[in-house]
Each structure stands twice: as structure tokens, then as C-alpha cells.
Amino acid sequence: MDMSALTQWFGQVMPQGAARKNEAVQSLISGQSKTGSLQEPAPNESSSGFSKVLARLTGAVSEPQAASERVVEQFARGAEGDLHQSMMTLEKGDISFKFLMTAKNRLIDAYKEISRMA
């Protein structure tokens, strides 16, 4: 799944997608629709444990993602810097994003498991 690194090149589709997905997950879990973004996890007081965990996860991942965006921007502007360093930053963002997706999948699995208990 190289989507994250790839789509960075084509704009900011993926962060938006990730934010939307995360928003969907959060609203699914907390039972209310709210607008959350990747950059602002902002766990609110009324949210359940699940969404708190998710918000913390997105917070941890947003820094590498932001770094990837900066690198792509710098590269597009033709700024100084080594190509391998840019690629490495993209790779870090990719790994972090994969981690977020994995953790999200686990959380949703757990949620589904619990919702089936009744």
C-alpha cells in the first residue's frame, strides 16, 4: 500500500481521505458526527475510549505525514536537499500511516466484536 507516498505527489488527497475515514470511524464509534481532521486530534471529553485511542494515534502519525508534505513541497519548489533524504521522509510517513491503518483496523475489529456480543 504505497498510496500514502504516491498520493502525496498528486496533492493532498490522502490526508483528506484519511481524515474523512478517521472522522467516519470516530462518528461510528462515538455515535455522533463531528468534523475531526488529521492535524487536530482534539479528543473531546464526551468521547468514548475508542475514539480517544484513535485520536491519540492520529496525533502520533500526523507529524511524519506533515514532514512528508513539507518534503514534497520543498522538492517541487526545487529547494536544496538530497533526494534520498526526501524519499526517506516519505517512507517514514508511509510506515507511520500503515501503522495508523493497522491500529484502526484492530480497533474496528474490537468494536465489531463487542457490538456482536448482544
Partner 1 sequence: MNLFDSMNVLSSGLSAERARLDVTSSNLANANTTRTAEGGPYKRRDPVFGTLEIAPQQFGSVMDEALTGVEVSEIVSDTNEPRQVYDPSHPDAADDGYVAMPNITQVEEMVNMLNATRSYEAQLTAMHSIVDMAEKALGIGR
Q: Which residues bind partner 1 (CB under 8 A)?
A: 82, 84-85, 88, 91-92, 95, 98-99, 102
Whether 90 and 68 have beta carbons less than 8 Å apart is answered as yes
Query: CB of residue 15 vs partner 1: minimum separation in angstroms?
Result: 20
For residue 118, CA distances in Å to 77, 87, 114, 115 come to: 56, 48, 8, 7
| Cβ atoms 117, 89 nearer than 8 A | no
Decide whether 35 or 85 has the Cβ nearer to partner 1: 85
Nearer to partner 1, 45 or 82 (CB): 82
Of 84 and 116, the one with the shorter C-beta distance to partner 1 is 84
